[in-house]
Structure 1
Amino acid sequence: MQKKVVRIIGVPIDLGADRRGVDMGPSAIRYAGLNARLKRLGWIVEDYGNIDVPVPETREIKDKKLKYLEEIVQINEQLHLIVAKAKKDGVIPLILGGDHSLGIGTIAGLALSEQSFGLIWFDTHGDYNTLDTTESGNIHGMPLAISNGLGAPELTGIGGNNKKLREENTVIIGAREMDPQEKELLRRSKIKVFTMRDIDQMGMKEVVSEGIRIASQGTDGIHISFDLDVIDPEEAPGVGTPVPGGITYREAHLAMELLADSGYISSMDVVEVNPILDNHNKTAKLAVGLICSAFGERIF
């Protein structure tokens, strides 16, 4: 990372998921000392506060296959313009969630930039469901597919009616739970998926190194989308959808350290921190540590 200005954007959204609480994620991460630690690393921190997000109690679900569609479109329309402005201003956008439906707006905003980008998506899930494949109707399970032009036109059209991703520069790391039809869609794509079995067999260093190679080939930088549920619930209990068997504390930090060493990180979002399910803000503190590792913090 050559640029020394990071712009923090909070998106307190939990409309994309059934389980409540991730709307408090941005506050929990800030409370865990994010801004002060980034400043100690030499970063100039611009905190833009939070996007206005309605609470579910003030809205109704009109379509059970696309829950809170209108609200999520409106939020991501706002977000994509804020992210695009950050890129235009030459700063690094750091988006705090909130559920992973915010990835729609983040990626749409990056796509408006003159710079090309690869994507590394750390997640237990593929987030590659569509209107036709979803079993829950929760839009936080769809952002990667939507960013690739698959899904409801109201969502794929945010930031223009075009694919926002380069499939050949997109990598998922840490997958261990996906719906059957979602798996099939991913197999038909050019997206590279590293499952937990791949991490067990290859080791995190080799997986991330290969991910960096794929995501950086012919691009100007890499966007990191980090869902805290990729980490084992023993280490990160406060997440929206915990699944046993995730990556360890040190594997997560090693991944961020290797990405920082690469110099390719150009933007980042950190999502699905749920303080209601957490233990003394443990997961938010872990999120802060991982962000700081990605932004250059070292053990020695």
Structure 2
Amino acid sequence: MSEHPESADLYSAIEESARLLEVPCSHERVQPILDAYADSLPSAVIALRVATGTRYQGDLDWRFTVGREVDPYAVALSNGLTGRADHPVGALLAEIRGNCPIAGYGIDFGVAGGFKKIYVFFPPDGMQSLATLAACPSMPRSLADNMEFFARRGLDDRVNTFGIDYRHRTVNVYFGALPDACLTPEGVLSMTRELGLPDPGERMLRLARHSFGIYASLGWESSAVERFCFAVMTSDSASLPVPLEPKIEQFLRGLPNNAADSRFVYYAGVSSTGEENYKVQSYYNWQPRMLDQMLLSDSGTTSG
């Protein structure tokens, strides 16, 4: 397959970001992803994300949006980006497409590891209910097992994004328009303790107060919520109490950026492994429509 101009230009930025973080960049894994979705790239929101913690060492994630008219899993299969899964994860996107209105999709990949995830964005005025999602035959049972937990906190009908991780065979459920009670230190501790997760540290509790979204990671192997995370947007990468390694701070200062304004999304979470993780997402190409998708206005960003 020949390279498209848009995907070739983006690959150069991806390669530069990998060099800055000193991680390997695999042309044979990355370029086919960009070429497969090349028609979407000129109008896409494009971002990259770096994370702390042993789970994320040795790779750097990039992601971009594609339109709702695209079947992103079919594209991935037909271009050999992922193998056909003999597992319910392979049928899940088609079932969601058949049952829910969709605003668009996102593709997530590592510069070293290649294709990883597909995100499903629901319309801002059409957030989905957990009951609708849990009714999909291939959905992990863990979602239904935790519905009552989310319903008691007013989150059962506030799913604005859903992620499918084909590599790890897990799903992410993203909630928006959060009730204030979910963001207080007491509310956060109540949730993590009921889920059997470690108590977040003081820095994470302070950050959670500013969250525009939370998400939970679940799998097919057990009913446990594997990770529970909070997301905060800011215009200043140094404004929040997030303990980033000096190497990552230097990386953020040197990033390629085509966006007209600077925006960063921080993710802070606790996991069943006992590890506290922080991730920061920087936008290579920002589109204002993402504020609607995130259920945010410009005033919804924080400076600390």
Q: TM-score, structure 1 length as denominator?
A: 0.33
Structure holding more helix per residue: 1
Query: Considering only CA atoms, is the larger Rg found in Structure 1 or Structure 2?
Result: 2
Higher RCO (CA < 8 A, seq sep 6+): 1
Structure holding more strand per residue: 2
